[in-house]
Chain A
């Protein structure tokens, strides 16, 4: 593991703990931005340059701006200063262990059996750039790509439908005092 990987992984894990640990949601959001940037760095180190860029643009840019906007729209309040009980924290540690073991054990146990990349494949996939991904997207994954645009459309329309105020309606214009009530 190179030095750069180690630093980025440490930043990613520390900021992930920050997301969970900070009481103020705004601090969590900024911590998440740091986390996403660190993960983008790991993508770049793995040779997935296109994903690293789109991680920065889509996640750390667009999605986090949306989250911050919503946080600003709502009144900000730190989570009430309740103490986490002993049962709850024990339960949390237990659940964490169960999640961690149930994911990592099979993944690492079967790791040796996985077909390793040949040198030729390695060279081919190490491009990782827009060209290689784009060729795959527009040939093999054409249908899924088109469907994802439909998903985004539904997302946009659905967000507008859900977020608009129910009681806003255009009143009929009478005299000069019409307009949005």
Chain B
């Protein structure tokens, strides 16, 4: 078995753990962290494939994913803050109504 294959296996496993977290948890910040974890899993697969192919395009893609993740975290946490201000909770079940 190619050593790179194990990296892909790890990436799949981490993506799955993140997805399970998205299904199980209700705390909005933990959901956010699970999304970050899934992005990281994809990044790991990108880097592994970049190693297999022997070109750096995959690593550049990871760079852009990091940029988007940084912007997303700023916006996402601001949204969580403003939701917390209006419903006084960050559990997703408490903010289930599409109004306030």
Which residues of A approach B to under 8 Å, CB–CB? 1-2, 5, 9, 12-13, 16-17, 19-20, 25, 28-29, 32, 35-36, 39, 42-43, 46-48, 50-51, 54-55, 58-59, 62-63, 66-67, 70-71, 73-74, 79-80, 84, 88, 91-92, 95-96, 99-100, 103-104, 107-108, 111, 114-118, 121-122, 124-125, 128, 132-133, 136-137, 141, 144, 148, 151-152, 154-156, 158-163, 165
Chain B: interface residue total (CB-CB under 8 A) = 70
Q: List 8 A-B contacts (CB under 8 A).
A: A19-B33, A35-B40, A63-B70, A70-B29, A96-B17, A133-B60, A137-B60, A162-B82
Which residues of B approach A to under 8 Å, CB–CB? 2-3, 5-10, 12-21, 23-27, 29-30, 32-34, 36-37, 40, 43-45, 47-57, 59-60, 62-64, 66-75, 77-82, 84-85, 90-91
What B residues does A71 contact at CB under 8 A?
Answer: 29
Pair count A-B, CB < 8 A: 224
Our pick among B6, B55, B63, B81 for the contact of A51 (Cβ within 8 Å) is B63
